[in-house]
Structure 1
């Protein structure tokens, strides 16, 4: 992409994400905004991360029933999400250590479902950045206080001990998965390619908002547009995501509005170009494409 086109794409991306110029430019793809252009490992990781983020508090939520590992409270933190080709970057300006602790398995390892199964610290400086590696998929994630940060090699050269021990509190990348983690990963159903792309797309767009203030995702816990709650909605963010093969369902009570999710995923500039939305009931819509269907249900008991 010519530099002028890249600058324009970066400016458009910034208008949706709130990233700074450098971060937005680094994430722009070849001819697109870079939200969905990524490695296969990265796409699979984002889809699995969606499962860990979007399950909580429903009596029949699969991760509750089976005591699977969860990272749902990570969405309680204000953040800017910057998807890159081979990394998902989450910029969390405050309480960084607490935020990353919502995702990671503590050490010594425990077997009670804490942390996302197989997610490890590859390198870290606990006051500014954590580089994470998801062992089951090979996908990578960075949780950082600022958009500019040391990479893994730089941390290894400057602070070698942090590269090994994950700052002591969390499991590092050289610690293999436990039997409980293998069981948790094994319980994840098959995903059709379209479903994997949809779930990865939602994760990549956790905190985007329309520059014209018509819709906003708000990291699935608050409304940046400060609108009143709709009938049937609640402020708490109860969520459930599950399915099999080509047919999945995402249910939730609180933010964002279902219209916002549909507008985000089908936006001419930001959305999935192959996705279409169809209303299936008063409270449910189906996002379809690539031979798959993700049913969105909002505000149900």
Structure 2
């Protein structure tokens, strides 16, 4: 892509994400905004991350019954999500270390204290930047205080995994998968590539918003547009994502509205290619594509 076209694409991307110029430029793809053009390992990792972000630990949930742990509290942090070809970058200005703690369990209890099975710290310095590696998929993630951060290779000189200061309590990428983690991963149902693509797209768009203020995702907990919201009792603010093969269902309460999700994923500029949205009722709909169906249910329908 010519530099002028890349700059233009970066400006358009920033209008949806709120990224700074450097971050947007790093994420722009070849001919598109770079939200869905990613490596296979990155797509699989984002879909796996969606499972942990969009599930709750409550009795009767398939997620909990399969001994998987929720990382939903990661979304409670104010952040800017910058999807890139081989990395999912999350800029968390307030507390990167605390946010990482919602994704990883303590190193001392890696056998049974992990949150996302196989997720490790590849490199980290001074509680300001954390490079994470998901061993099962090879997908990578960065949680940093600001968009300008050192890469993992620069930090890990001599091939040694560096976990300075604010990362010493987390397991490093040199720690292999435990038996408990492997057993946990074995409980996750098979997922068709089309579903992986949809879930990865949702994760890449966690906090995007329409520049024309017609829809907003708000990290799935707040409305950046300040629209009136139906109050949901805290005990009912649950999310559930489960399925098998080509049929999955995402159910949630509160923000975002179902029309926000479908408008985002089918946006002419920002949307996921080769999918269509179907509204089946006032509080339910479907995203279809690649022979797959992701059912969307807002509320208790």
TM-score tier after normalising by the smaller chain length: over 0.9
Unaligned runs of 5+ in 2: none
Note the alpha carbon deviations across 1:83-135, whole angstroms, 9 max, x for none. Answer: 00000000000011111000013111344454210000000014210000000
Aligned 8 A contact 1:152 1:163 in 2:
no
Query: How far is 1:281 from its partner?
Result: 2.8
Distance across 2 between alignment mates of 1:207 and 1:9: 18
| Structure 1 residues 161 and 33: alpha-carbon distance in aligned structure 2, compared to 1, 3 A threshold | closer
Residue in 1 that maps onto 2:43 = 43
Aligned 8 A contact 1:57 1:239 in 2:
no
Query: How far is 1:234 from its partner?
Result: 5.6
Distance across 1 between alignment mates of 2:59 and 2:228: 27
Distance across 1 between alignment mates of 2:260 and 2:249: 17
| Structure 1 residues 159 and 188: alpha-carbon distance in aligned structure 2, compared to 1, 3 A threshold | closer
Query: How far is 1:238 from its partner?
Result: 1.4
Note the alpha carbon deviations across 1:254-296, whole angstroms, 9 max, x for none. Answer: 2111110000000000001211111223321000011000000
Distance across 1 between alignment mates of 2:13 and 2:195: 24
Residue in 2 that maps onto 1:196 = 196
Within-5 A mapping of 1:111-150: 111-112=111-112, 114-150=114-150
Give the 3-state SS of the residue equivalent to 2:153 in structure 1.
helix
Distance across 1 between alignment mates of 2:227 and 2:57: 24
Residue in 1 that maps onto 2:8 = 8
Count of matched residue positions in the alignment of Structure 1 and Structure 2: 300
Query: How far is 1:161 from its partner?
Result: 6.8
Residue in 1 that maps onto 2:268 = 268
| Structure 1 residues 204 and 161: alpha-carbon distance in aligned structure 2, compared to 1, 3 A threshold | closer
Distance across 2 between alignment mates of 1:79 and 1:237: 21
Aligned 8 A contact 2:250 2:294 in 1:
yes
Aligned 8 A contact 1:122 1:164 in 2:
no
Which stretch of structure 1 is more off in the superposition, 214-223 or 161-170? Answer: 161-170
CA-atom RMSD, angstroms?
Answer: 2.1
Give the 3-state SS of the residue equivalent to 1:64 in structure 2.
helix
Give the 3-state SS of the residue equivalent to 1:270 in structure 2.
coil
Is 1:152 matched with 2:165? no
Residue in 1 that maps onto 2:245 = 245
Aligned 8 A contact 2:14 2:21 in 1:
yes
Give the 3-state SS of the residue equivalent to 1:23 in structure 2.
helix
| Structure 1 residues 159 and 288: alpha-carbon distance in aligned structure 2, compared to 1, 3 A threshold | closer
Residue in 1 that maps onto 2:88 = 88
Distance across 1 between alignment mates of 2:237 and 2:7: 36
Unaligned runs of 5+ in 1: none
Distance across 2 between alignment mates of 1:14 and 1:263: 18
Give the 3-state SS of the residue equivalent to 2:209 in structure 1.
coil
Give the 3-state SS of the residue equivalent to 1:173 in structure 2.
coil
Distance across 2 between alignment mates of 1:242 and 1:161: 35
Note the alpha carbon deviations across 1:219-251, whole angstroms, 9 max, x for none. Answer: 1111111111148x5677410000000000000
Distance across 1 between alignment mates of 2:223 and 2:43: 27
Query: How far is 1:163 from its partner?
Result: 4.7
Distance across 1 between alignment mates of 2:134 and 2:247: 25
